[in-house]
Amino acid sequence: MIRLPAPRSRTGPLVAGGIVAAGGAVLIVCATAGHAPVPARTTTAAPAADGLPHTAIRVTAGSCGTGWSRPHPGQQVFDVRNDSAGPAEVDLYDPATGAVLGEVEGLAPGTTRPLQVTLGSGAFAFKCLPDDGDAVIGPTVRVPGHAVSGPAAVPVTQHDLIPPAIAYQKWIGARLGDLADAVATLRSDVDRGDLDAARTAWLPAHLVYERLGAAYGTFGDADKAINGTTAGLPKGADDPGFTGFHRLEQGLWHGESADRLRPVADRLATDVDTLRDGWSQARLDPAQLGLRAHEILENTERFEITGRTDYGSGSNLATARANLDGTRTVLGYLRPLLTTRYPALPRLDALLDRLQHTLDSHLTGGRPTPVDDLTTAQRERLHADLGQAVERLADIAALFDVRRTS
């Protein structure tokens, strides 16, 4: 799998209930750093140009959420102004459950930003998290009636993610042993000069690696050495920096001799053995698991089903299927946290099942259909199924973005 750049910092909404900003009914939080300031209002629940009632909320050094004096249910906007001396994150949450309905991140001093939410009946409060201080919780406000609130979720903490991260890291360690064995077989075939056998052994070995998708951030430079491509290399396929599985693929499917490929196979085996032997000392970042669950198939969409990483084997769809396995593995370790926070989990499972069925239809007889051989209808179906899964997995990335709670 081609790897995306380092993860981006959070600027979007806390997603819950399977709803994201592109999907219709949403929890919308305008919290980007470049948002133009909105003048603070002195009245509460006043209709604005957007047709929604607005309430001016103040944040100061010692108080949070003052100004909310006319609580009412329904869709509305809180214009949150920071009158303190430093930046802060501001959350609207349910004190009884800890579930967050909306957030404004990085609210600079003297700045006002809109926080749009749908409030139901119940008790709510604002929580302010200044960058250089402890949380300040505002007064609890009771909203009358019998309405139902919009999306909300209990924030995930670093502590929550440590057990699944440890379990996942142990799983990776076992798979690295399988990878080393598969690469040893591949290396032996090349060393004997049996390139037909090497072509047969290449794909199973590569797929073992592709199923390890959520660990690549921990692999560091080893990932590029083992699974890098020609992207950015001045000499392309002839560049000395082109190593690993795809360099071997290039040679095996483009008529290179065993003599030329032996050093490539040796280097691959050495790099894999080094990664396996050092894995017990690696430290997988628990906070990255949710993001990686999304990025695995995001990368698949960008690089595999477009054929951009095909160096002759025509195996991109088999790689995509392995990436799906990797995604399901990560979600499996996160599932105990998801079941209590993400009501749309059955919908996500159904989308992944449909994507699996589509990919499997192109892997008949153990030989994947090359991407270029797909019909237009097949290509459109694959892009649609994968795109919907990637969109839904963005919810997971947002939900597992670790947030301060105190």
Per-residue pLDDT of the chain (406 residues; tens, 9 = 90+): 555 444 433 323 344 433 333 332 233 333 333 333 333 343 445 567 888 999 999 999 999 999 998 999 999 999 999 999 999 999 999 999 999 999 999 999 999 999 999 999 999 999 999 988 899 999 999 999 999 988 888 889 999 999 999 999 999 999 999 999 999 999 999 999 999 999 999 999 999 999 998 787 899 899 999 999 999 999 999 999 999 999 999 999 999 999 999 999 999 999 999 999 999 999 999 999 999 999 999 999 999 999 999 999 999 999 999 999 999 999 999 999 999 899 899 999 999 999 999 999 999 877 899 999 999 999 999 999 999 999 999 999 989 988 777 7
The residue written with tokens 């050094």 in the block is 61
Looking at the DSSP bridge assignments, the partners of residue 257 are none
How many residues would you count in the chain?
Answer: 406
3-state secondary structure of 233: coil
- Looking at residue 150, the DSSP 8-state letter turns out to be -
Contact (CB, 8 A) for 164 and 339:
no
Radius of gyration, CA atoms only, the chain: 25
Q: Which two tokens stand for residue 86?
A: 């430093």
DSSP collapsed to 3 states, 82-110: ECCCCCEEEEEECCCCCCEEEEEEEECCC
Which residue in this structure is represented by tokens 């869709």? Answer: 75
H helix intervals, 221-315 = 221-227, 245-252, 258-278, 289-299
Question: HEC string of 293-306?
Answer: HHHHHHHHHHHHCC
DSSP code, position 220:
T
| pTM higher than the cut 0.85 | no
Helix (H) or strand (E) holding 203: helix 195-210
Q: For residue 21, what pLDDT is reported?
A: 32
How far, in Å, CA of 357 to CA of 346, rounded? 17
Q: What is the pLDDT of residue 46?
A: 55
Q: Which amino acid is at 61?
A: A
Biggest distance spanned by C-alpha atoms of the chain = 82
Domains of the chain, residue spans: 28-143, 158-399
Contact 191, 269 (CB under 8 A): no
- Tell me phi and psi for residue 48, to 5 degrees: -120, -175
pLDDT for 378: 97
Q: How far apart are CA 80 and CA 50, in angstroms?
A: 17
| C-alpha to C-alpha distances, 337 to 99, 312, 315, 323, 334, nearest whole angstrom | 14, 41, 34, 22, 6
Query: Could you tell me if 323 and 296 are in contact, meaning their C-beta atoms sit under 8 angstroms apart?
Result: yes
In angstroms, the CA 92 to CA 100 distance is 6
What is the predicted pLDDT for the residue at 406?
Answer: 75
Sign, CA torsion 59/129/217/177: negative
User: What is the spatial distance between Cα 81 and Cα 83, in angstroms, rounded to a whole number?
Assistant: 6
Cβ neighbours of 196 (radius 10 Å): 9
CATH of domain 28-143: 2.60.40
Query: May I ask the CATH architecture of the domain 158-399?
Result: Up-down Bundle (1.20)
Cα 47 from Cα 55, distance rounded (Å): 9
Angle in degrees, CA 22, 25, 28, rounded to 5: 70
